[in-house]
Amino acid sequence: MLNNRRYIIQFVIVLVALVYMAKLFTIQVMSTEYKLLAQSNTVLRQVEHPLRGMIYDRKGQLIVANIPVFDLVIVPKEFKVKDTIQFCKDFNITKEELIEKYQTARAYSWVKPSLFIKHILPEQFATIQDKLNSYQGLYAESRSVRDYQYNSMANALGYVKEVDKKFLEKDTSNYYQQGDLIGRTGIEATYEEDLRGRRGTRYVMVDVNRIVKGSFQNGKYDTLPLVGDEMFSSVDLELQRYGEQLMQNKIGSVVAIEPATGEILSLISAPSYNPNLLTGNGKEVSQHYMELVENEYKPLFNRPIMALYPPGSIIKLVQCLIGLQEGVIDSTQTHIPCVQDVVKCHSHKSPLDVKGSIQHSCNPFYYKVFNRIIRRGEFDNNSEDTRIGLAKWHKYMLSFGLGEKMGTDLHNEKGGNIPSVAYYDKRFKNKKWRFGNIYSLSIGQGEMGVVPLQMANVAAIMANRGYFYTPHIIRGKGKDRMELDPKFKVKHEVPIHKAHFNTVVDAMEKVVSAGTARRAFIKDIPICGKTGTAQNPHGEDHSVFIAFAPKNNPKIAIAVYVENSGFGGTWAAPIASLMIEKYLKGKINHEDPKRKALEEEIMNKNFMVNAKKKKVVEEPKDSKTPKKTTKGTENKQSVALTQYLSTAPPTTTETANTPKQ
């Protein structure tokens, strides 16, 4: 019995010894993993950053490329400096900066490399490359930064920024590392995963002086960086740049869409900035970024998708269609007099039929139409009857892409505000609100707020006679221009009969040829449009215009919003007209003296002086003081920007006050 136990113990000891011997053999002979660690003093791991994907316009014009730069990384354990003064002179930093950077790197890791000096341009790197050999623990890594080919599309393209500590702590992808760049806004943010590519790793042999002698084991363990996908935008760069010229010295937005596809042809936010200000040297980028952030006119604020405005009279198109569909008005039989006892208006003939109400933008007409839509007499209780009517109206409005995010591929898109029953129940806690509390919605005022992208989409719906595709700014990626999200191919139809659209479109044509938008008229291009003048309690009213052209087989739908500029027909309409002509014909007809003079007038007009210094808000505020009447929305009537950021303040979007019944 004792002998058997002895043999068992001996067998276990031998077995354990064999296992340890096998493991040691694997570690020392077979495996390279530990060999790499053991040779860390002679093998250097270098990160190879991928080129970010380039971006093109719809015609294949390069918009965003890359330029090479270098980063210096430091390994605190190896870092040694004999002459601090000379070191600071060689790398153009102060002694305080040197101490701060070293302490930051040491706090991150004693043995791992961390960023020391970033984004050194090739011509600058050439002057310090030879000096690196004099300093142990300091190494160079190549990468690239964005190179925006034109001073254009800044808000649409967005910018990239270095990831910070807070981001790295929350990052669940485990991809990003200290010093990496990430898209923060615009296309750069929405398509970050496609554009960023995939980093690579390279192992090199270095001598005692840290001079590279060659690759380790002929690159057996190297991984190649993967270049980011090329992105093909739907934007027409020539149209975009022309529109930005028209919007210089102005505050507002221009959005143009191809109705047949939902592709965005132009996305202009004014004022804007030079996108190259946020690339390059880290110190300069930080300085420029803070200047843009602190600028009171908010050039980083992407107005086409983020700024909520009262739509003004352009909403009358939708009100008219709802009224026709609900049968409360008739395209030929309805005539409503311009009685200004509740809402004011401008001078025009009276009474008007449906087409005339759009052509001349009659406020009392749409006060009556909205009343008929909301108060159907289905309940004796006035308040309850209004609730039922508003719920039905709200559903129609949502079908036009209003009041909710549209699901576009534009970063930070806002949804706007189309007041619902729940909205007013919350506002009026006793739930005793009535039509008299909400009637300013009839002419696009009150608590209603839309973003310019939604306005352009309404124009696209009119162009298509009842449907739209979700607006998007990227049409394909990669060499094969592979299509992106299939949701952009989904056809969204509004619950309005096509015959009603034909009625409204005919009226929209009259708006331009003989109505409130005569300044937008072009002899050989039938434009269909609608003006709006949105109230602004802090200064001049806002000029609004939506349109599409040509009338049949439309190629472009557009929305223009110019803050603090007055009549929609005076300023927003001609800007849209010029952009339509530019897109459809490729140029402005300067042989026509009227068109040439109009272009010059728009280019030179400066509305900066009309703007008041008010904080931009994203949600409309509730009305406070009831008034007897609502102000009419159609009865109102320099030097080019050369700096990289504009000098006009934003305005506050607030609601018009509405009277109690």
The fold adopted by the segment(s) 237-288+302-610 is Beta-lactamase (3.40.710)
Written as six digits, the tokens of 334 are: 């309805």
Worst-scoring range by mean pLDDT, 3-12, 332-341, 393-402, 532-541? 3-12
For residue 320, the one-letter residue type is: C
Q: Give φ, ψ of 372 to 5 degrees.
A: -70, -35
* Mean pLDDT of the chain, nearest integer: 84
Per-residue confidence (pLDDT) for residue 513, from 0 to 100: 96
Kindly report, residue by residue over 218-230, the tens digit of the pLDDT.
Answer: 767 888 889 999 9
Written as six digits, the tokens of 342 are: 């509740």
Q: Among residues 380, 383, 381, which one has the least CA distance to residue 432?
A: 383
Per-residue confidence (pLDDT) for residue 546, from 0 to 100: 98
Chain region(s) in the chain for CATH 3.90.1310.10: 43-233
Per-residue confidence (pLDDT) for residue 31, from 0 to 100: 64
Q: Is the pLDDT of residue 631 over 50?
A: no
Which residues are CB-contacts of 169 (< 8 A; sequence separation ≥ 6)?
Answer: none
Report the distance separating Cα 250 and Cα 292, nearest Å.
17
Q: Which residue has the tokens 């990052």?
A: 171
Count of CB atoms situated within 10 Å of the CB of 649: 23
Distances (CA, A) of 516 to 456, 472, 561, 565, 581: 19, 31, 16, 16, 19
- Fill in the DSSP letter of residue 417: B
Per-residue confidence (pLDDT) for residue 30, from 0 to 100: 64
Per-residue confidence (pLDDT) for residue 571, from 0 to 100: 95
Worst-scoring range by mean pLDDT, 65-74, 312-321, 479-488, 563-572? 479-488
Chain region(s) in the chain for CATH 3.40.710.10: 237-288+302-610
Worst-scoring range by mean pLDDT, 205-214, 250-259, 267-276, 569-578? 205-214
Kindly report, residue by residue over 544-585, the tens digit of the pLDDT.
Answer: 999 999 999 999 999 999 998 888 999 999 999 999 999 999
Worst-scoring range by mean pLDDT, 200-209, 441-450, 553-562, 592-601? 200-209
Per-residue confidence (pLDDT) for residue 597, from 0 to 100: 96
- Tell me how many degrees the CA angle 64-305-257 measures, rounded to the nearest 5: 70
Q: Is the pLDDT of residue 447 over 90?
A: yes
Per-residue confidence (pLDDT) for residue 33, from 0 to 100: 58
Q: Give the HSE-up count for residue 597: Cα atoms under 13 Å, Cβ half-sphere.
A: 4
Average pLDDT over residues 462-487: 90
% of the chain exceeding 90 in pLDDT = 52
User: Into which CATH architecture does domain 43-233 fall?
Assistant: Alpha-Beta Complex (3.90)
Per-residue confidence (pLDDT) for residue 190, from 0 to 100: 94
pLDDT-based confidence at residue 96 (cuts at 50, 70, 90): confident
Kindly report, residue by residue over 135-187, the tens digit of the pLDDT.
Answer: 788 878 787 889 999 999 999 999 998 888 788 888 888 888 877 889 999 99
Kindly report, residue by residue over 31-88, the tens digit of the pLDDT.
Answer: 665 555 555 457 777 777 889 999 999 999 999 999 888 888 888 888 888 888 888 8
Cβ 104 vs Cβ 111: under 8 Å: no
Sequence-ordered alpha helix ranges (H) in 403-451? 421-427
Per-residue confidence (pLDDT) for residue 15, from 0 to 100: 80
Q: Among residues 165, 168, 164, which one has the least CA distance to residue 176?
A: 168
Cβ 248 vs Cβ 624: under 8 Å: no
Count of CB atoms situated within 10 Å of the CB of 359: 24
Per-residue confidence (pLDDT) for residue 610, from 0 to 100: 64
